[in-house]
Amino acid sequence: MTILLSRRNHRESVAPLLADLDLYRVFAACFNLPSTERFAWLSGRECRVLLKKLGHYHEDRLPHSATHRFRDYSSYESAYIALFEVGVPEPPVPLLESANSHRQIPQEIVLECVNFYDVLGLRPSGSVFPTDHLVTQLEFLAAARYLREQANDSGTEASLRRLERDFIQRHLLTWLPFALEKLEKADPPLFPMLLRSLTAYLNQQSVLLGPDDPS
């Protein structure tokens, strides 16, 4: 994962400004499949500083274990697989909306995600992550944000803003709290802090994206 560093001063040379980052993509990378490069970043000072900055999104104290780091790549990879990938009948914390949300049957959840993706002409391949996987959903939000920020007229910008907000509210915020509860019960290092920071960030984004402009 490549993150552009802020060079405001020497002390912040490894601490990117939140406004400079697409946090959708940052969190998507954090929950992507394990790699030595990803582990190196998650274990490094830049990630620690970033998570400290994100801490203002949630004021409640995290358990001490949540601040622990994985001792090596093997423990990180094993924990990721055991938590998110394997289990009977399912992993302890599946990163799938359809496995955590009870508002609709799984087929309807997936179809609704596809309908959102269709608005931007996106087609999830499904070869790496399912349509309603956390990483897929965050990549969609990153695409919507990018197009919104590049929009040339207020009408397009407003439409993309609604799309982004509605997807956050209708999808991620309906299932991430349940996944977070499962993850905190499992009590692994790092991952609960990441998911709690993501959930808090999405709650803030849903407010900042705002209601429809009455004009």
CATH number assigned to the domain comprising residue 142: 1.10.3480
**Mean pLDDT, all residues of the chain:** 85
Structural domain includes residue 1:
no
Q: Is residue 20 included in any domain, yes or no?
A: yes
- Give residue 5's pLDDT: 31
Q: In angstroms, rounded to a whole number, what is the distance separating the alpha carbons of residues 116 and 33?
A: 24
d(CA 76, CA 78): 6
Please give the angle made by the CA atoms of 81, 143 and 164, to the nearest 5 degrees.
95
Q: 181 lies in which domain range?
A: 10-208
- Give residue 65's pLDDT band: very low, low, confident or very high (50, 70, 90): very low
4 domain residue, yes or no:
no
How do residues 172-201 score in pLDDT, each as one tens digit?
A: 999 999 999 999 999 999 999 999 999 999
- For residue 86, tell me if it sits in a domain: yes
HEC assignment per residue over the chain: CCCCCCCCCHHHCCCCCHHHCCHHHHHHHHCCCCCHHHHHHHHCHHHHHHHHHHHHHCCCCCCHHHHCCCCCHHHHHHHHHHHHHCCCCCCCCCCEHHHHCCCCCHHHHHHHHHHHHHHCCCCCCCCCCCCCEHHHHHHHHHHHHHHHHHCCCHHHHHHHHHHHHHHHHHHHHHHHHHHHHHHHHHCCCCHHHHHHHHHHHHHHHHHHCCCCCCC
The pLDDT of residue 64 is: 44
Instruction: Give the pLDDT band (50/70/90) at residue 46.
Output: confident
Written as six digits, the tokens of 20 are 């400079």
- Residue 36 belongs to some domain of the structure: yes
Does residue 3 lie in a domain region? Answer: no
Asked whether residue 33 is assigned to any structural domain, the reply reads yes
Is residue 214, in this structure, part of any structural domain at all? no
Q: How many domains is the chain partitioned into structurally?
A: 1
